[in-house]
Structure 1
Amino acid sequence: MKTYRGRFMREAELRELGVAQVGENVAVHETCVMVDLEAMTFGDNVRIDPFTLLSAAGGWLRFGDFIHVSSNCSILGGSGVELGDFANLSAGVRIFSRTDDYTGEFLTNPTVPPAFTLPPAARPVRLGRHVILGANTIVLPEVEIGEGTAVGAGALIRHSLDPWGIYAGVPAKFLRNRRQDIIDHESRLKAALAAGKTDLPVARL
């Protein structure tokens, strides 16, 4: 059985392609579709896995540090999408910062001139630090997900979520509070990196 892994584009190549800002240890798989690269920024230690769509068309995309976007995700940043440090998107997550009108009051789809469609959402989608979204989660426009929030697989997020909660369901509902031990782990990680330790399991692809 043959396996094709493809390759990851690294910092220099991404800058050459036109990405506005690229930190250190950034890897974007070559199968990723990227639209309006000049409106994208990446922090340090960012990995974007295969068959993902990143579109900043009409808006912007901002990725913090220690970000992982798994395969087959779609991030549509027409009104802006921001992922805070340590955010993690599992496979198949969909983030929409704009939407069409479903009432019949306006025409729909991007082939129609903007004067005849629903005005775009005014507020971007923001994921706080340490947010994790389970596989196939859908995030709708004008949503803010608070720091440390975890969302179960297959959830639909229609409204903003408070920090440090665990949510699941369609639509997503609060289940219980999430432990905040990860803040201590973050501090230890940053201290170790500042001390120059090279044996840490930080993935370089």
Structure 2
Amino acid sequence: MSFLTTQELLKIGFSSCGSNVLISKLASIYGAEKINIGSNVRIDDFCILSAGDGGIYLGNHVHIACYSSLIGQGRITLEDFSNVSSRVSIYSSSDDYSGKKLTNPTISENYKNVTHGPVILKRHTIIGSGSVILPHIILNEGCAIGALSLVNSDCEEFSIYAGIPAKKIKNRSKKLLDIEKEFLNAQ
């Protein structure tokens, strides 16, 4: 995997971009002027970041694994130490599937009924491979989503969720907060 150089990152025109940012040359970026990137961020091959009006905000120590996408008009926020595994789709916009309206971006807005809403991944959130996150969702601090899950409602802090739709399986350890302190003190 080859990453963009610092000069190449500057040319993209991000709203802000921290230090030690590794973005694959094979990632696709749309609406860069609405994307804010913290420090120590890695975005792997074939990821799509498509920022709408709400923008995309990535904190520090964030990883977005290959083939993942962050798409939509609503704001998408990935706070510090959050992790998106491969093939995860995060949507801050969704078409009306009822059949009462038309769908897709080739149709004028007056014929569609698109839902837009923020998606927030709080600190230390991890999303397993192949999962889908819908608009108007908050994954609270320390939340873990199992692989191949569909998240259509908010998730409690330090809890593990899995399934379609995602349901709480059990609590998640808070030990990672102590390890975070140790890690940051070692910097």
Q: TM-score range by the shorter chain?
A: over 0.9
**CA 1:10–1:181: 2 relative to 1, 3 Å:** farther
Letter in 2 for 1:141: P
Q: 1:67 — aligned with what?
A: 62
In 2, Cα distance between equivalents of 1:189 and 1:111: 47
Give the alignment of 1:3-18 within 5 angstroms: 5=1, 7-18=2-13
Give the alignment of 1:4-43 within 5 angstroms: 5=1, 7-43=2-38
Residue 79 of structure 1, aligned match among 55, 74, 84: 74
Q: 1:117 — aligned with what?
A: 112
Deviations 1:26-79 (A, max 9, x none): 010011010010000110100000011110033310000000000000110321
Note if contact 1:10-1:25 (Cα within 8 Å) is conserved in structure 2.
no
Deviates more, 1:125-134 or 1:107-116: 107-116
1:179 has 2:169 as partner: no
Identity %: 36
Letter in 2 for 1:109: N
In 2, Cα distance between equivalents of 1:188 and 1:18: 34
In 2, Cα distance between equivalents of 1:17 and 1:158: 33
**C-alpha RMSD of matched pairs (Å):** 1.1
In 2, Cα distance between equivalents of 1:43 and 1:116: 38
Structure 1: tracts of 5 or more residues without a match = 194-205
Residue 129 of structure 2, aligned match among 131, 135, 144: 135
Q: Runs of 4+ in structure 1 displaced over 3 angstroms?
A: none
Which protein has the larger Cα radius of gyration, Structure 1 or Structure 2?
1
1:164 has 2:163 as partner: no
TM-score, normalising length: structure 1: 0.88
Larger % of strand: which? 2
TM-score, normalising length: structure 2: 0.96
Q: 1:100 — aligned with what?
A: 95
Structure 2: tracts of 5 or more residues without a match = none
Note if contact 2:67-2:87 (Cα within 8 Å) is conserved in structure 1.
yes
Q: 1:201 — aligned with what?
A: none
Residue 147 of structure 1, aligned match among 135, 141, 149: 141
In 2, Cα distance between equivalents of 1:147 and 1:164: 6
**CA 1:10–1:129: 2 relative to 1, 3 Å:** farther
